[in-house]
Chains A and B, each alone.
Chain A
Amino acid sequence: MSSKTSEPQGPTSGDSDGKTDLKPTTEIDDVAIRFAGDSGDGMQLTGTKFTDETAMAGNDLSTFPDFPAEIRAPAGTMAGVSGFQIHFSSHDIHTPADRVDLLIAFNPAALRANLEDVRSQGMVVINSDAFTQKALTRAGYEEDPREELKTRYALVEIPLTRLNREALQGLSLSQREADRCKNFFALGLLCWLYCRPTEATERWLAGKFKGDVLQANLTTLRAGFAFGETTELFPVHYTIPSAKIEAGTYRNITGNSALAWGILAAGKQLSMPVFLGAYPITPASDVLHEVSRHHEFGIKTFQAEDEMAAVSSTIGAAFAGQLGVTISSGPGFILKQEALGLAVMVELPLVAINVQRAGPATGSPTKTEQGDLLAVLFGRHSQSPVPVLAASTPGDCFHIVLEAFHIATKYMTPVVVLSDGYLANSAEPWKIPDVDSLPRSTVNFAGRETMGADTEFEPYRRDPATLARPWAIPGTPGLEHRIGGLTKEDISGNVVYTAENHQRMVDLRAAKVARIAEDIPPLEVEGPDSGELLVIGWGGTRGAITAAVESAREDGLSVSQAYIRHLNPFPSNLKEVLTSFKHVLCPELNEGQLAMLLRSRFLVDVQSFSKVAGQPFKVQEIRERIDSFLTEKS
C-alpha cells in the first residue's frame, strides 16, 4: 500500500464540494473494508450504498455480501451476523480481497465472526454501546476481548447507538425507529474516512423515504460524516484516486441483476416474447423479482407451484413459440432434470439457469459453490447432452444469457447457464454496453410455405448446417404434428422403437451439441501461451485466479491462466492449450469436477485444487498453491 499525506486544507481551500477539510488526507491506492452487524442492522444496504458512492468516486471495486440463511436469526448471535465487504482501488482489481483493512462491527457477535479476516494492525471500529456483558455472552465471548484486541489491531470504539440517538433528538421517532438509522451514521462516518461523496445516498433516501424517517436518515448520515471531521479518533482520512479504466459509462451490477437484464434484453435482441417460469429459491429469486418488475418489456413471468412446474411451463411456452427461460439453484435445478431430458428429446429451445449454492441437500443456501457442473452435464438419466455455459463475472451474466438464447434457438436445444452465489450477489463496475452493438438474431418458425402442397410436415427433418429440427408452433396451419418423450423416428418424428433408429437419434443429438463448438471462440490464454504452469478455471473463480496468476507472474514465475466459459462443448483448441504447458492446475469450489472432465477427455494430468467451504477462493490461497506446486514439481 503506497501512501502520501497532504496537509490539512484550511477553510479557504475547501474541496470541490464546498465542504471544509479540517484534517490531513492520505492518498492510498487500495482498501478493503467490511460492514458487519446483525441481519436486522441493515448491513447489506449500508454496504450497497457505500459501493454506489465508491463507484461514483471512480474507483474499481469488487464486493462480497455474506449473509445468514435465516431471515431473522436471533439478534446478537453468531448465526445472525450479516457482512458486506467491498474492495476498492485506484487500479484494476479482480476480487473482494482476502483480508480487510477496516472492519466495522455493530455488535460483539459481528466482531467475533469477522475478526480473523482483518489484516494484522488493521482498523477495527466497534459500536461500544453494544458491548454489554449480555451481548458479549450471546456472542460467545467469555471475557471482554477489547483490551487484547488493542495489541493486534487499531481499535476504535465509538458509541454509535448514543451518537445516533443524540443526532436524532427532536425528531418524532420512537427510540426503536431512531436506532434503526444508526447504520447511516456509520455510513456517513466511513464516507468521510474514505472521502466518498454522499450525494447518491441522499438522492436514494429522498426517493425511498418521506417525512421524519427521511429526515432522520439524512440527519444521521450527515452527523456521521461530521463526527469523522471533528473526532480525535481519526487523525487522518484517506483518498483513493480514481482508477484508470476504459472510457465509457459505468454502473454497478450484481450477477443476479445482470441475469435479469440479460433475460429482458434477449426478448429485444431476438425480437421475440420471453416467458420466465420460476419457483422461489435462494440465491436465484432476485432474478425473478427483478424481471417481474419489468413487465413493460412484454415478458411473461410465472411463479410456478414448484420447480418441476417452473421448467415444464417454460417448455410449454417454448412449444408455443416463445423464448422460455427458467431459473433456480442446485436443489431446484435437480428437480428440473427430468423435464430438461424431455426438452433434449423434443429438441425445443430454452435456457435453464442454475445459480449454484453450497450443498448437498439444503446445504448453506446463501453460500457459494461450484458443485453442480457434473450434475448439469450428466445428471439426467441416459444420454442427454446439453450445451453448458458458465458466467465468470457479474457483468458477464448479462452477455451469457444472450449467448445462451442465441445457441438455444439456432440449434433447437435447451441450454444450461451456470452462475453461483458469489457472482449472484457481488457487485462490480460494469461498462454499460451500447445496445446497438449487442448481438441480434432472428428466429424463423417453420411455415407451410416452405413445403410442397402435398408433403407431410416432418418435425425431425434437420437443417444440414446446424442439425436443428424445425420449430413449428401451434397456430401454424398445415404443420399439425405431435412431439413427446417417446423415441422419435428420424425425420418423421413418429414413435418407433427400432434399435437402429434409437442409435441414430442418440448420435444425432450428440452431434448437434458437439457442432456448437463451431460458434465458440477459441480459448484465450492470459500470459505466455506455453510454459511451466497453466492455471485453468471456470465460472466465478475467475477473479481470484487472475489476481493470483498476475501476482505470480509479477514475481517472475512462469504461470499463465485460462478460464473456460463454454463447458459443453469445449472450445475446439482446448486440448492444444492444455498440452502447451508442462503442468496444469485447476482451482475449483468443488472436489475437482472440471479437473476430472479434462483428465478423462484429454488424458492430460490436470491437478485439482479444491475448496468446498461455501466461500470463494482467497487470492492468497491460489497464489500459495501455485508456489507450492511449482516447488514440488521443480
Chain B
Amino acid sequence: MAAEVAPKLTRKDFVADQEVRWCPGCGDYSILANVQRVMPELGVPRENIVFISGIGCSSRFPYYMDTYGFHTIHGRAPAFATGAKAANPNLSVWVVTGDGDGLSIGGNHLLHTIRRNLDIQILLFNNQVYGLTKGQYSPTSALGMRSKSSPQGSIDHPVDPISYALGCGATFVARTIDVDAKHMQQVLKRAHDHKGTSFIEILQNCPVFNDGIWEDVEDRKTRAKNTLVLEHGEPLVFGSEGERKGILMQDGRPQVIDLADDDDPKERGVVIHDEKLETPSYASALATLTRPDFPLPVGVIREVEKTCYEELLEDQIKEAVDQKGAGDLHALLHSGDTWTVS
C-alpha cells in the first residue's frame, strides 16, 4: 500500500495572514523570509512546528509564521519551550528571542535551557539595542553607547552571545547575518539537523534605533574582509582574492597572516576549523575574535553530541515502569501502613 504523499509545502504555506508590523527596513523581515523558505525543506509536517518567543521586536515573530506559535512573556520563552518539548518530543520547537529578551531578563532561562540540551533551536536576533521600548542600550551594546537611557554613554560591559552560549555548554553554536540569505538558510538547516539545543546568533540591523551597527559585515563590499566564514575541515581563511589572509595560533593566541593567492594555507600553519572538538577552548577562542583586528566568525562554531533532556526524561519513565510496572493508583493509596475499621 503506497503511503499517502503529502503535497510538498512551499514558503507560502508558512506565511501567516497577519500584517507584519516591523519598521520598514528592519532586519527582521529578511530573517522571517529565510525562516519561511527553510521550513518546507526540513521534512517536518507543518503541524509539528512550534515557534515560541518572549517579548521584544523579534518576539513578534510567531504571529507571522503559519505554524503553531506562542508569544509568551519577557525572557521566559526558553522555559515555555522546555515544557512544550518535554511534553511532546515530536515537536520541532523554535525559540525566537533578542539580545534584551534572551540575555538580560531571560539570561538565566537561556543558560539552563542550553545546558539541558533539549532538541530545540534558539534564534537570538542581536541588534544591540532595545527596539520595542524605543531605544535603550541592551546587554550587547558597546561600552559607551549613547541611548535614551545612557545619554552619557553606557557604562555596562557587553556580553557576547556566542561566548555566553559556549559557557553554558551549548552543543551547537552558530552565527549568521540578517542579509545573507544563503548563509542563513544553511545555518538554519544545520541547526535543525543537530540533535540538541542549537543556538544561533543572527546579527540584525535596527534601522530605527541602532542603524548600521553591523554595516561592515552586512555590506557585500566589505563582508569578505570582515567576516571569517567557517567550514568544518577548512582553513580559517578570509578576505577576497589578492587580499587573502589566514588565522593561526601562536602561543595560544590567534594571529592574522597575509596569504598569497597561491599559498597553501595548511602549509602556512593556518588553523583548520574543527566544529567537533569536545573541549570548548578552541570555539571560545574563535568567539573572542573581534573587529577591527580580526574578522567576525560566521557559520557553525561548534557542534558536538550530548544526550537530550527530553529523551532522558522519557527514559526515566520507561525505567520506572520496567521496574515497578505501570502506576497503579489503588496500590499507591494502599502503600505503607493501613488499617481497616469494620
Binding site for B on A (CB under 8 A): 52, 55-56, 58, 200, 242, 245-252, 261, 264-265, 267-268, 273, 275, 277, 294-300, 302, 304-306, 308-309, 312-322, 324, 338-339, 342, 346, 432-433, 435, 473-486, 494-495
Contacts and interface: CB of A to CB of B under 8 A. Distances in A.
Given A483-B71, A484-B72, A316 B329 contact: no
Contacts of A294: 320, 327, 332
Contacts, number: 210
Interface residues of B, number: 63
Contact of A52 (B85, B323, B326, B337): B337
Nearest to A433: B333
B71 to A, nearest CB: 3
A296 B73 contact: no
Interface in B211-245: none
Interface centre among B70, B91, B326 (most CB of A within 10 A): B70
Interface stretch (B61-69, B145-153, B194-202): B61-69
B71 A482 contact: yes
A317 B88 CA distance: 8
Contacts of A484: 53, 62-63, 69-72
Interface in B34-91: 45-50, 52-53, 55, 62-63, 65-73, 76, 78-88, 90-91
B70 A319 contact: yes
A480 B66 contact: yes
Given A249-B340, A250-B339, A482-B16, 15 more contacts: A52-B337, A295-B316, A295-B321, A299-B317, A305-B79, A305-B111, A306-B108, A309-B109, A312-B80, A321-B87, A339-B73, A432-B334, A474-B49, A474-B84, A477-B46
A347 B109 CA distance: 23
Nearest to B6: A477
B63 A482 contact: yes
Closest 4 CB pairs of A and B: A484-B71, A316-B83, A297-B327, A313-B83
Contacts of A304: 79, 82, 112
A317 B87 contact: yes
A317 B70 contact: no
5 contacts: A242-B341, A248-B341, A251-B334, A304-B79, A482-B65
Interface centre among A265, A320, A432 (most CB of B within 10 A): A320
B329 A300 contact: no
B99 to A, nearest CB: 19
A475 B67 CA distance: 10
Contacts of A277: 83
Nearest to B105: A308
A264 B320 CA distance: 14
Contacts of B47: 474-480
Contacts of B16: 482
B88 A475 contact: yes
Given A55-B337, A482-B16, A313 B69 contact: no
Contact of A474 (B76, B82, B91, B327): B91
Contacts of A249: 334, 338-341
A314 B72 CA distance: 13
Contacts of A474: 47-50, 68, 84, 88, 91
